[in-house]
Amino acid sequence: MTAGGEITLDKTAEETSVQELTNLVIAEYRKALEERQHTA
């Protein structure tokens, strides 16, 4: 998985759960939302 052009998760599909991926995506979304609210 990459974010901002950098590898943020370097695991095989067998080592990664859907919950782990979901948590990463939610955390990135919340971070982006918070940054957007601070600049608005």
Give the start-to-end residue ranges of the domains of the chain.
2-39
Confidence of residue 3 (pLDDT cuts 50, 70, 90): confident
Place of tokens 């979901």: 22
Q: Identify the CA nearest to 3 among candidates 36, 20, 25, 35.
A: 25
SS3 state at 7: strand
pLDDT at res. 20: 93
pLDDT at res. 4: 77
**Averaged over 5-9, what is the pLDDT?**
86
pLDDT digits over 9-40, tens only? 899 989 999 999 999 999 999 999 999 998 87
